[in-house]
Amino acid sequence: MTLRPTARFAADYNALPQPLRQRVDKALGLLLANSRHPSLHIKKMKRYENRREGRVTLHYRVIFTIEGDAYILLRIGTHDLLR
């Protein structure tokens, strides 16, 4: 699998403070290595059929879809922002 960030995801990522970007990088590495890693808590989003969310921290989530052999990274932000 590969990661394909959208422009919106890149903007969200660039707006994060450096320590949080490091946490995002770690979470995305885990996603690539083992999408079922327990710390990611990946689940399907109820309101969007093909979207999934994974945990970066207690308050931050990454939203993505899967297309072929790629994770399409859509957004990153607080749990409340993404709802």
> What are the strands, taking DSSP E only, across 13-69?
43-44, 52-55, 60-67
Q: How far is CA 29 from CA 23, 75, 80, 81, in A?
A: 10, 16, 24, 23
Residue-wise pLDDT tens digits, 23-43: 999 999 999 999 999 999 999
For residue 82, the model assigns a pLDDT of 61
Instruction: Judge whether residue 70 has pLDDT over 90.
Output: yes
pTM of the model: 0.91
- pLDDT band for position 48 (cuts 50, 70, 90): confident
